Each structure stands twice: as structure tokens, then as C-alpha cells.
A and B are shown apart, each in its own frame.
Chain A
Amino acid sequence: MKDGFRALLAGRFGREALRAAVGSAEEKERSLDRRLWRELGDAGFFALRLPEADGGVGLGLPEAVLVFEEAGSALLPGPLVATHLAAGEVKGAATGETVVTDVDGQLVEWLAEADHVRGDASGARAIRSVDPLTPLHRVGSAQTGISDAAVLLTAALQLGSAGRTTAMAVKYAGEREQFGQPIGAFQAVKHLCAQMLVRTELARAAVYAASVTGEGLDAAGAKLLADDAAVRNARDCLQVYGGMGFTWEADVHLHLKRAWVRSAQGPTAAQVEERYAAAL
């Protein structure tokens, strides 16, 4: 399943498609690739956890996090989590015919593109989203209850990004030469990369475990660690890339910006830390 989905993404949303999407988003034709959305539907991305009797794939959260991790790694745009969670509840969500978004606290992603909005988006105001591939609206409302599954799947997206930036940094460190040797030979660079892996693996353990236990607290903790891994790895990757990391051309900033957006979804770090503290 994971491999199949990885192959689908490599074919349909590889680096060129990612950059083309950034380009067209910049020309203000910020639109979701509906064909790709349908193909995701056909591949079972949205119906993954629907029972087979209801036309779904009949798998569970442990499989879903693996697939979402791949989506995060590819920086696949769109309200993936909301549409996945709406499968079986909102008509056409499971097949990718309908795009569904959620009002999550004070933000809504892809509001203008969505066919169906869950939650109260009245008074929504468009902001200039820092992430070129995630249009955002601000809403005034207080936090709506976001499900544990949504928190965990968002964490899986972050995990995928953290893994990808680690791989990008390691590849660059092995190729870029300064002072007559690959920069990865310098301990300072090596240690940055090593810490990236440590963060990724810790987040991975938390995400995978939470997908098995199904506990809300585990999901929140996984999100906390995956947010941290995604944001800090993107920053360290930027540092390893040097001046190149500060360019629009390199993909590093796309990972960082998406990681910032995903970090703002669901409970805040402060809320999760307080929950863990209270449970001690």
C-alpha cells in the first residue's frame, strides 16, 4: 500500500509537478489539481479506513499514517486530512470527487476550493498565506473540537516532511564540496544531520505507536514531536544548504512553510505539554 502510493506520488506529484504547482499558485490561479484528487480517490487514499462493505479499503489508522507520511514527504497540497475524515460522511469525499475542508480553530485551509466545509466559517477572511501551496483563511471562532485521528494524520504529514528534509540534507552534504572535501565530512554538518535523524525517528516511533493505541494523548504527543521534527529539520536542512537554502528555487523553504502551517493545526504545543504535565 505504502509502496504503491509512493509510486503514484512519484509519477503524479514528483519534483517537477511540485514546482509547477508553486508556479501556478503564484500566478494566482491557486487551484487544486482535481484530476490528481480523483486519482488519489481511486487509489484509496480517502476511503482507506472505510469498511469494505461501504466501498472502502477496510484498513485502519496504522496503514493510514504510512500513506499520509508519503503525502507529507512529497508536500502534496490540499485538505488531505479533512477529506479523508469526511469519507463515508460527505458524499463524494471517499472517491475524491468532493473536496472537504475543516474549520480548525482560527484557520481554514483551501476554503475557496472546497466543495464542502465542516464547521462554522462565517466571517472568514483570506490572509496572504506564508505557504504558497496552502491558501488560508482566518476565522474568529474559538477552537472547534478536532478529532484525535485528524491530529495523528497531521502528525504523519509532518513526519513525512521531516524524513524528506533529512534525506535532502544528507544528499546535499555528500555532494557539495568546500575546502576540498564534501561538507558532510565536517563534524558540524554531520552532527546537524544526525540530530535531524534522531528527531525523525523519535517522532516516527510516537506516530506509529499512537496509530496502534488509538489514545488521544498519544496522538497529541505524536503531533508535538512531529511538529518539532518537521520545523527544526527544515531549518537545519536550510543551514546545511547554505546560501542555496535561502533561495526560492530550493525546496527547503516549501517544507519549512508547510511545517509552520501544520504546526498551527490542532492543539497548540502549550496545550499538549500541559496535558502531559497534568497526567504526571
Chain B
Amino acid sequence: MDLTYTEEEEAFRIGLREWLARTLPMLPPKPDPLDWPARRTYDLGWQRRLYDAGYGEVHWGATPTQHLIFLEETEEAGAPYVGANFVGLLHAGPTIAAEGTDEQRARWLEPVVRGEEAWCQGFSEPDAGSDLASLRTKAVRDGDHYVVTGSKIWTSHAEVADWCELLVRTEPISPAAPKHRGISWLAMPMDAPGITVRPLRTLAGSAEFAEMFLDEVRIPVANRVGEENDGWRVTMVTLSYERGTAFVGEVVACRRTLGLLAAAARENGRWDDPVLRRTLGRLSAEFGALWRLTQWNVSEAQRTGGVPGTGGSVFKLRYSHARQELYEAAAEVLGPDSLDLAQEWTADRLSSLSYTIAAGTSQIQQNIVAERILGLPKGR
């Protein structure tokens, strides 16, 4: 494992650190977490500042090590989270960067990088969650357009997105065409006629995700990334980014939270409970190791060139549970105040309940680790 940084990388870190120290105090106040339009404006505004300072393309234009340094430094400085830009910067963006044509890269990456357009992810369907490949939203060719009909669910930020990375079926499932074939990856403009977005409330009370009904939505064939019927492979590229690097910044955030928890526990006396103390100690060791695992995954990806590997599943599996345990520990520290929604950690505890479900459930990640890494026989 290579843990040393080149002089150039160190210079990148110092420059970034200085810029953050100058810039963060000038940011506008954080918007209400339940106000998505305001959050979109805020998140895109932050991206615009990054762009103006030369950090706009860091999520895929820089080396993986620089990317890691970027995530580490911004998180440690308490810079805004990618938020409404999650899909654009960490999901669709890297996919288009890796799989798109020059024209597509120019059309879609630039506005994301400049903080002008936000994306959402339209993969899951009511009957295709864990079994994503069984998706049924159908795209029929009509000249130089696809006519798309079907429904999507759990589409995060759909209401404030300009574009949607959409998985569609371009060839029906048949004995000759198994479900993984026949899928295509399209960029859908969210203002196209025929799209209805119905917000869904999360258990935390926010309308963070939505149902999306598509009724004969016309999408240019030129908006397809990758070959027709080759969308599953493109999707695997997308998902490896999701599991590989998309959560890196949050590991740093968790380490910060641990420090704050310890300080709060020392102050309110709960630090005297050896069980709680040890829980926090163990979590600290784990988040330290998760950070090392990330560095390792990234340096492997850098060495082998490109896409993060299945190591992402190992990381995601432990990380999502460890982060839930972190907020259980926070509830211990808070005591009766853990029942107060005005406490930031209480809201975070509610959000953390999705970590073992979103981006592939823990059960599915365990299947991936067991079957693809350990080579155990595939179950049904």
C-alpha cells in the first residue's frame, strides 16, 4: 500500500487548504434541509466556486489520489457536501467521462462542472430494486428518437434535476435475450413532455426521492451513452463509482463526528461509561481502517487504470453498518435528547437507516462479496 504523496500532490493539498480557509467563511448560510430548491441553489453555487477556483473537474479530471486529497481536505474543513450534485459529480458524470463520446462529454460534463445543471438517477423501478436487471421501462425506436414508457421509483432529487441518467429496455426479455442484455443508458432531459414526478416522503419527513412516470417521452438516440443494449455494462461502471469513491468524503465526516461525540460525552458525563467509551474507541479504529481501505482501493484503481473494482463492495458493506453504529453511539451520548429532532445527530440517525439499503442492500453486497470475490457457487 502506497501511503506517500508526491511533492506535486502535497502542493495540491496545501493550495486547496488555503483556498478553503479563505472561501468557506464567505459562503451563504446553509439552507433548510427540507427545502430542496434552496438546497439545489446552494449546492450548485458551491460547485460554481470550486469551478472558478480550478477544482471543478476534480471528481474525474484529476488523478484518483488528488481526488482523495480533495475529498479529505474539503470534508475536514467542513466544506459543503455535494448534495444535489451527487449524481452529476459522482455518478453520471464519471460514467459519461469514461463511456461517453467527445460530443457527449462536452455537452453534459461542462454544465455539471460549472454548477449549472443537476442530475438524478432513474435506475430502480417498483418491480426492479435489488434485481435491477429485470427493469421494464421500455424504449421503442422511432427514427432518431426513443419513445420511452414506464415508471421509476426512489429517484433522489428528481424534482430539482435537469437531467436523469435513465436505464431503459431496448430489447424485450426473451430466451434469446436474457435480462442483462437489452438495457440501454440514456440521458433524459427532465423537462421533456410526458414526465410526471410524484414526490415520496422519507421516514425523516423530507421529500428527498420521488416516483417518476414516463408516458411516451421522446429522447434523442444521440442521448444514449454506450452502445444500444450494452447499458448493463455501462451501469456496472456507474455502480462501481457509486460503491468505490462516492462515499469517501463521508468516512472523513464520520471521523470528525466521532471527535465531536467524544467531546460531548466528556462534557455531559457519559464518558464515565466504559462501554460507551470503548464503543467510540472501536469505531474510531474502524473508521481509520476504512479510510486506509479507501486509499488502498484508490491506489489500486490508479495502478490498474480507471474503474474502482469489487473492493468497493467490501468497503460499502462495512462502512454502511459502521456509520449506523456511529449514530447509535450518538444516541447514547445524547441520552433523552436523542428523541429530539432538533438535534442534528437525531436527524442523521434517521438518514443513516437508508445506508444498508440504498446503492445496493447489504444482503446484495454480501452476495457480491461471496460470489464474485470469494468465488462461492451462485445461489438463486
The residues in A between 158 and 204 inclusive whose CB is less than 8 angstroms from any CB of B are 177-181, 183, 185-189
Question: Does A253 sit at the interface, judged by CB under 8 A?
Answer: yes
Question: Does B22 sit at the interface, judged by CB under 8 A?
Answer: no
Question: Does B282 sit at the interface, judged by CB under 8 A?
Answer: no
Question: Does B366 sit at the interface, judged by CB under 8 A?
Answer: yes
A127 to B127, CA, bound (A): 39
How many whole Å from A175's CB to the nearest CB in chain B?
12
The residues in B between 129 and 186 inclusive whose CB is less than 8 angstroms from any CB of A are 129-131, 134, 153-154
Question: Does A35 sit at the interface, judged by CB under 8 A?
Answer: no
The answer to whether A189 touches B363, judged by C-beta atoms less than 8 angstroms apart, is yes
The answer to whether A239 touches B341, judged by C-beta atoms less than 8 angstroms apart, is no
Q: Place the interface of chain B in its size category.
A: 35 or more
A187 to B338, CA, bound (A): 34
Residue from the list B339, B357, B379 in contact with A130, Cβ < 8 A: B339
Question: Does A105 sit at the interface, judged by CB under 8 A?
Answer: yes
A141 to B200, CA, bound (A): 40
What residues of chain B lie closer than 8 Å to A147, measured between beta carbons? none
Closest partner residue, chain A, to B200 (CB atom): A247
The residues in A between 243 and 280 inclusive whose CB is less than 8 angstroms from any CB of B are 243, 245-250, 252-253, 256, 260-261, 264, 270
How many whole Å from A224's CB to the nearest CB in chain B?
14
The answer to whether A129 touches B130, judged by C-beta atoms less than 8 angstroms apart, is no
Question: Does A131 sit at the interface, judged by CB under 8 A?
Answer: yes
A136 to B340, CA, bound (A): 9
What residues of chain A lie closer than 8 Å to B201, measured between beta carbons? 247-249
Question: Does A235 sit at the interface, judged by CB under 8 A?
Answer: yes
The answer to whether B357 touches A270, judged by C-beta atoms less than 8 angstroms apart, is no
Closest partner residue, chain B, to A234 (CB atom): B353
Q: Place the interface of chain A in its size category.
A: 35 or more
The answer to whether B342 touches A128, judged by C-beta atoms less than 8 angstroms apart, is yes
Residue from the list A188, A243, A252, A260 in contact with B363, Cβ < 8 A: A188
Q: With A106-B336, A129-B340 in contact, is A179–B357 under 8 Å at CB?
A: no
Question: Does A138 sit at the interface, judged by CB under 8 A?
Answer: yes
The answer to whether B358 touches A127, judged by C-beta atoms less than 8 angstroms apart, is no
The answer to whether A107 touches B129, judged by C-beta atoms less than 8 angstroms apart, is no
Q: With A179-B130, A179-B380, A188-B363 in contact, is A246–B353 under 8 Å at CB?
A: yes
The answer to whether B354 touches A246, judged by C-beta atoms less than 8 angstroms apart, is yes
A264 to B346, CA, bound (A): 14
The answer to whether A246 touches B130, judged by C-beta atoms less than 8 angstroms apart, is no
What residues of chain B lie closer than 8 Å to A11, measured between beta carbons? none
How many whole Å from B275's CB to the nearest CB in chain A?
7
What residues of chain A lie closer than 8 Å to B356, measured between beta carbons? 239
The answer to whether A106 touches B335, judged by C-beta atoms less than 8 angstroms apart, is yes
How many whole Å from B279's CB to the nearest CB in chain A?
12
The answer to whether A243 touches B153, judged by C-beta atoms less than 8 angstroms apart, is yes
The answer to whether B273 touches A246, judged by C-beta atoms less than 8 angstroms apart, is no
Question: Does A242 sit at the interface, judged by CB under 8 A?
Answer: yes
A264 to B332, CA, bound (A): 10
What residues of chain B lie closer than 8 Å to A9, measured between beta carbons? none
What residues of chain A lie closer than 8 Å to B63, measured between beta carbons? none
What residues of chain A lie closer than 8 Å to B331, measured between beta carbons? 260
A242 to B126, CA, bound (A): 11
The answer to whether A246 touches B203, judged by C-beta atoms less than 8 angstroms apart, is yes
Closest partner residue, chain A, to B206 (CB atom): A248
What residues of chain B lie closer than 8 Å to A246, measured between beta carbons? 202-203, 353-354, 357-358
What residues of chain A lie closer than 8 Å to B366, measured between beta carbons? 188
How many whole Å from A96's CB to the nearest CB in chain B?
26
Q: With A181-B380, A243-B153 in contact, is A138–B130 under 8 Å at CB?
A: no
Interface string of B178-218 (1 = CB under 8 A from A): 00000000000000000000001111010000000000000
A245 to B130, CA, bound (A): 14
Question: Does B337 sit at the interface, judged by CB under 8 A?
Answer: yes
A270 to B361, CA, bound (A): 32
A129 to B346, CA, bound (A): 10
Given A128-B342, A178-B129, A178-B131, 12 additional A-B pairs, CB 8 A:
A105-B336, A127-B339, A186-B363, A186-B379, A188-B363, A239-B356, A239-B363, A242-B129, A246-B203, A246-B358, A248-B202, A261-B339
The chain B residues found within 8 Å of chain A, CB to CB, are: 124, 127, 129-131, 134, 153-154, 200-203, 205, 273, 275, 331, 335-342, 346, 350, 353-354, 356-358, 361-363, 366-367, 379-380
Across the A-B interface, the 9 shortest Cβ-Cβ residue pairs: A253-B203, A248-B201, A128-B341, A127-B340, A188-B363, A178-B131, A106-B336, A179-B131, A243-B154
Q: What are 29 sample pairs from A and B whose C-beta atoms fall under 8 A apart?
A: A127-B339, A127-B341, A129-B341, A130-B338, A130-B340, A130-B341, A130-B346, A136-B339, A138-B340, A178-B129, A178-B130, A179-B130, A179-B131, A179-B380, A180-B131, A186-B363, A186-B379, A188-B366, A239-B356, A239-B361, A243-B124, A243-B129, A243-B154, A246-B202, A249-B201, A264-B336, A264-B338, A270-B273, A270-B275
